Structure formats: structure tokens, C-alpha cells
Structure 1
Amino acid sequence: MALRRGFKAEAKRLALQVREELGVAVFAPLDPYALAELYGIEVCDLSHPTLPADAVRHFTGPAAAAFSGALLAVGTGRVIVENHVHEPTRRRSTIAHEMAHVLLEHDVDLLLTAEDLCQSSASAVEQEANELAGELLVPRDAATVAAFRGWTDASVARYFRVSESMARWRMNATAARRVACRSRNKWLRPAVNAGTA
């Protein structure tokens, strides 16, 4: 299922507005936990004492890969529950994804995030949340700057504090390296032609 027409541009604008609210430049890592705090969204992990012990053991043990996080409705507010046994980069992606649902005002009582954000989902709201989360964590314009600097996926991941798979997805989805390559070729072409005249 493809994103609705114009959504990527909408996500880019929204991510830029959010970064401005947080005082975070486009080419700077965004802290999704600070974003949740700004919007008054509490973030809890699976060690919270109110959660059922059997479920916690299951999702922090044999089924740890099956549960990344959830956006829960609590009264008129929202709470994010994250899986604290995951790597910090995955947890940052989870929080960004759940906050994307909040920012997009998706009408849900419970949204679960499982596995890797880079995999497409059958649900339109999940795809929109994936796209906005990616734009929040590695903005299109920042990916282009990274491409012009010749950064590897590992460099992008380290700088923006995301997983390498997230970095790879953003660099590919934004076509940042292709844009940088075309621009370099365009700059070099006149110089080559002038040298042969």
C-alpha cells in the first residue's frame, strides 16, 4: 500500500515544525523522548509495576522481538509503553513512531509497534507513522547533506543515533545519494567541457 499523494511533503513540513518547536536544527539529532515530553505524553517501559508480570516476562524474554511499543489511550490522554530490553536506537525509533501517531492525530485506542520500522506495513496509518518517524529522526534535507559529505550508512546512524537499517532506509527513501551524485556530475560536466574546448 502506497502513501497517499503529497504525504511525504506534508511529513517533511510537520517534522520541520516539530524541530522548530524543540529548537533542534535540521542537521541535528532529535530526541524523541524530549518530543514526547513537549507534548505531555508519558513514556513507560515494560518494567512498570502495573503491567501483568507474565506478559512482561514474555515480551522481555522469548518474544522480545515481537513487541517494540504501544500508544495507549488513558482517559483523554495518551501513554507510550516501550520495550526496555531493546537497543537504544530501536527504542528511539519506537518513540518517534508512536509520537508520529500523536502528531498525525491518528484516531486509535491502541497502536502496537513491532519489529523494524523500515519494513512496510499493510496499514495506511502505520505507513504514515513510519514516514513521519523517519523524517523526524533523519530529515530528507539532512540525508542530502550527509550524502554530499559522503557519509556511509554507519556514519548517518551514529550521528543521528538511529540503527543502520533506519539510516539505510532514509538514505534510500530520500534518494539523497542519487541527488548528490547527479549534482556532482552536473558541476563536473561544465569543467570537463571547458577543458576540451
Structure 2
Amino acid sequence: MSKKSYLKRGFKAEAERISNNFRKDIGLDIHDHLCAFKLANFLNIEVISPEILGIDDKGLDVLMGNTKKSSGWSALTMTNSSDKKIIIHNTRASDARQQSDLMHELAHIICKHEIIVPDGIVLPSYMRYYDKSQEAQAEYLGAALQLPRECLVWALTTGNMSKREISTNYSASLQMVNFRINATGISKQVKYIRT
């Protein structure tokens, strides 16, 4: 079963509206780059690096995927004692990956996803467990926050940008640009797309 089948009817259109509305609320044009750090600040969500938690270099290497034994951690959201959301993210990842990871975490918060832990699974207090529907929502909304459909249409037509230029201009990976072009059906709308 594909991830998109986990999205409820109308969620994709709602994700595009949410992304467009945040750009307007922050004072950006629809085709402007929305930095994940700026969105987090707008939402009053603190974004911190794991270095400030006092983890030594060896521990950071394992945590951030710099060793053969690590899986390459990206980001997680915690709630502090004041019930405020805090996102801890991998500062050693590329800028495009950091933007994507933060948008994904912000999407979980925007969607008000709750921690759901199935019976028999014990997680540390800082870990999250989301069901497939919530992960699909965060994946789609996070990607829409980074590259909304209207922004891509503008970049490919009025902006006459190639996929590589879109990637650079919007701090997104080429993989994310391709995902969004395919997920939004833009390739059917725009006849010629430069790589």
C-alpha cells in the first residue's frame, strides 16, 4: 500500500492551503522561499542542535550518522516542562535535508499529531511513534510547506527555472523537487521541464 493511500480525502488540497496561508501570514509572496527556521520562529517553536545538550563528539557522530553503526538521525520534537514544543535537529545534514526534516517535524505539530504507542512498545519520553496515516500527513504537508504547488508552477513557468535551480533557490534536494512535481501532477500541466 502506498503512503498516499493513508491520506484522507482532501488532505493534499488542505496541505497546499496551509502552506500558502503561512507564506501570506509571514509576509511572503507565494513564490518566495519559506525557511523552516523562520516558520518555526513564527510558530514559537524553538529549534536547537543536539550539541547544546552536552553530547560529546563521539556521541554526536553516532547520533548524526557519521559512523557505520548509526542510522543517520534527522530530527525529533519534544515538549518541555512548560508544555512548549522544541525541535532538535541534525545540524550536520545538508541545508536541504535540514529544511526537509524541520518542515516534517513542523507538519506533525501543525497537524496536532499525538504520540500513539501501540500496546507492548515502550519508548523513551523523547521518542515519537506515529501511525502510518500521521507519517503520510507529515510527509505531504512538510513537502508542501517547503515547495507548494503554486510555487512550483511559478518557478517552472514565470520563473523559467530548471529543477536544479528550484533545488538551489528553495533549499530543497533534487529528490524533493522531483517528488513534488510528481505528487502535484505539475508535469502534466507544464509541457517542458528542464532538469
Q: TM-score higher than 0.5 here?
A: yes
For 1:62-141, list aligned pairs within 5 A. 62=67, 66-75=72-81, 76-108=83-115, 110-111=127-128, 123-141=132-150
Does structure 2 retain, via aligned residues, the 8 Å contact 1:43–1:79?
A: yes
Deviation at 1:122, TM superposition (A): 7.0
SS across alignment from 1:70? strand
Between 1:41-50 and 1:52-61, the stretch displaced more is: 52-61
Question: How many residues get paired?
Answer: 174
Q: Which residue of 2 aligns with 1:13?
A: 17
* Alignment CA distance shift 1:111-1:155 (3 Å): farther
Which 5+ residue runs of structure 2 have no aligned equivalent? 116-125
Q: What is the root-mean-square deviation of aligned Cα atoms in Å?
A: 2.3
Where does residue 143 of structure 1 map in the other structure?
Answer: 152
Distance 2:44 2:70 in 1: 27
Q: Normalized per residue, which structure has more helix?
A: 1
The yes-or-no answer on 1:35 pairing with 2:39 is yes
Structure 1 residues 152 and 64: CA distance shift in structure 2, 3 A = farther
Deviation at 1:84, TM superposition (A): 1.0
**Cα shift readout 1:122-151 (whole Å, capped 9, x = no counterpart):** 711111111111111111111122232553
Q: Deviations over 1:133-180 (max 9, x none)?
A: 111111111112223255322121011111111111111111212112
**Residue 105 of structure 1: how far off its partner (Å):** 1.0
Of all paired residues, the percent bearing the same amino acid is 23
- Higher Rg: 1
Q: Given the two structures, how large is their TM-score scaled by the length of structure 2?
A: 0.80
Q: Secondary structure at the match of 2:23?
A: helix
SS at match of 1:96: helix
